[in-house]
Amino acid sequence: MRAPLPRRRFLSGLAAAAGTTGLRMPEAWADPAPQQPQDDYDRTAKLANNENNYGPSDAVIQAMTRAFKYANRYGYPDGNLVQELAAHHGVKTEQVLTAAGSGEILDVCCSAFLQGGKKIVGSDPSYSILYSHATGLKSETIRIPLLADYRQDIPAMIRATRNHYREVGFVYLCNPNNPTGRLVTTAEVRQLLDGIPSDVPVLIDEAYHHFVDDPSYSTSVPYVTEGRQVIVARTFSKIAALAGMRLGYAIAPRDLLAPMRAHMTGSVSAVVRWGGVTALKDTERQAWVKRQTIELREKARRDLAAIGYETIPSDANFFMVHLKRPVVPVIDAFRKKGVLVGRPFPPMNESLRVSIGTPDEMARFLVAFREIMTA
Ligand code: PLP
């Protein structure tokens, strides 16, 4: 066991790691850090941010290109994005809220539901930008450690919510979870919703929904139609490869969306609205990305197992590998070899998160992994 670092040194270590890898700091949304020159960036294997390295489909690019003629407008035809999303999920248009990425949905949940110092109940580690946003609002997160097999501890989340009932602004459930890739089953989601007071909102982040193949999992959108206090967050950043274009949305009952709408900035661009409508219908492309991602993920996990490294089973477009040594120097060694991998996720300080890239990028990852780990 390594001795724990003093907090300031730990944070500056994280900052250094983020700076050298050209990664966005986890603390908050920010402009991308100044990176290496464009050509260098283009040459790196980008396995750090759970993006979709194939890029948007031709149909999506064409739709966005056509929408550029609205670049000078505030009001314009937008392909009926909200109506299309409502139809896609079988909900009412008043139950849909679009945003500049699902990150904006997470942020406005904090702004809307943590007023008066209310708290989040959520797993740790999970998608920590949300917790950082809460900290910025002088709110706390009641963090529930993961179980030994890295699944989320639903009974502990229920207990924490009940014990702090009046202080809880909302419960956060990332499904599948980032950074582990592990899912929460349909039965467990129901157990959580049935186990906590029915007026506590539950934010269910389904950013990686499209990559799940396990029949024990299902979306939580039906709870919204059932009238439960559930907000489902979705993104076009992953399966649809539109991370740089910023589009996400929430599906939730009207009474939960009302306070959230008050904090929105209307920042979804005309261009990505058209891209989103096209991507939503591009089911063939989605199926191809899913298949390709799962195949490459499982191949990488097998390759690592063959050289003695354990990985965590994942249902997302990334996985974690246990390094048996501190992760920060390994992240830096990868960067020097032109491979960007995930940032540290304390307290999992000896685990590396690897996003699934193209076959070529995954081959580069494996070569670099062998070299770094045997050096
Ligand atoms: N939720 C989770 C679990 C994520 O991993 C991410 C991004 O990586 C987001 C939300 C935010 O995604 P975006 O704002 O690009 O939709």
Does residue 38 belong to any structural domain of this protein?
Answer: yes
Q: Let me know whether 23 and 88 are in one domain.
A: no
Q: Which residues of 353-370 are buried (b: 16+ CB within 10 A; e: fewer)?
A: bbbbbeeebbbbbbebbe
Q: Let me know whether 121 and 264 are in one domain.
A: yes
CA distance 173 to 258: 21
Q: What is the DSSP letter of 262?
A: T
- Tell me if 102 CB under 6 Å of ligand 1: yes
Of 281, 309, 336, the position where a domain reaches its end is 281
Q: Let me know whether 200 and 321 are in one domain.
A: no
Q: Let me know whether 344 and 259 are in one domain.
A: no
Nearest by Cα to 101 from 265, 253, 216, 219: 265
Q: Ligand 1: which of 46, 105, 235, 239 to mutate, most ligand atoms within 8 Å of CB?
A: 235
Does residue 337 belong to any structural domain of this protein?
Answer: yes
Distances (CA, A) of 247 to 76, 114, 138: 17, 24, 27
pLDDT digit string (tens) for the chain, length 375 residues = 333 333 333 333 333 334 433 444 344 556 666 666 777 888 999 999 999 999 999 999 999 999 999 999 999 999 999 999 999 999 999 999 999 999 999 999 999 999 999 999 999 999 999 999 999 999 999 999 999 999 999 999 999 999 999 999 999 999 999 999 999 999 999 999 999 999 999 999 999 999 999 999 999 999 999 999 999 999 999 999 999 999 999 999 999 999 999 999 878 999 999 999 999 999 999 999 999 999 999 999 999 999 999 999 999 999 999 999 999 999 999 999 999 999 999 999 999 999 999 999 999 999 999 999 998
* Nearest-5° Cα angle at 59, 103 to 45: 55
Q: Let me know whether 70 and 52 are in one domain.
A: no
Dihedral sign (CA 126, 128, 129, 131): positive
Does residue 2 belong to any structural domain of this protein?
Answer: no
Q: Let me know whether 140 and 159 are in one domain.
A: yes
Does residue 9 belong to any structural domain of this protein?
Answer: no
CATH code of the domain covering residue 310:
3.90.1150.10
Residue span of the structural domain in which 159 resides: 60-281
Q: Let me know whether 76 and 224 are in one domain.
A: yes
Does residue 209 belong to any structural domain of this protein?
Answer: yes
Say what the pLDDT of residue 65 is.
98
Does residue 3 belong to any structural domain of this protein?
Answer: no
Structure tokens at 150: 């890295």
Q: Ligand 1: which of 178, 180, 317 to mutate, most ligand atoms within 8 Å of CB?
A: 178
Q: Let me know whether 198 and 289 are in one domain.
A: no
CATH code of the domain covering residue 156:
3.40.640.10
Q: Let me know whether 197 and 52 are in one domain.
A: no
Say what the pLDDT of residue 41 is.
84
Ligand 1 centre distance from Cα of residue 317 (Å): 12
Work out how many domains the chain is built from and give that number. 2
Does residue 220 belong to any structural domain of this protein?
Answer: yes
- Tell me if 237 CB under 6 Å of ligand 1: yes
* Nearest-5° Cα angle at 57, 54 to 61: 115
Of 232, 253, 281, the position where a domain reaches its end is 281
Say what the pLDDT of residue 9 is.
34
Residue 208 Cα: closest atom of ligand 1: 3
Cβ-in-10-Å burial (0-12, 13-18, 19+) of 225 comes to middle
Long-range contact pairs involving 79-84 (C-beta distance under 8 Å, separation at least 24): 79/273, 79/274, 79/276, 79/277, 79/278, 80/277, 81/273, 81/276, 81/277, 84/277, 84/280, 84/281
- Tell me if 101 CB under 6 Å of ligand 1: yes
Q: Let me know whether 226 and 96 are in one domain.
A: yes
Q: What is the DSSP letter of 142?
A: E
- Tell me if 157 CB under 6 Å of ligand 1: no
Does residue 338 belong to any structural domain of this protein?
Answer: yes
Q: Let me know whether 309 and 299 are in one domain.
A: yes
Q: Let me know whether 127 and 149 are in one domain.
A: yes
Of 227, 253, 281, the position where a domain reaches its end is 281
Ligand 1, atom 2: closest residue by C-alpha:
207
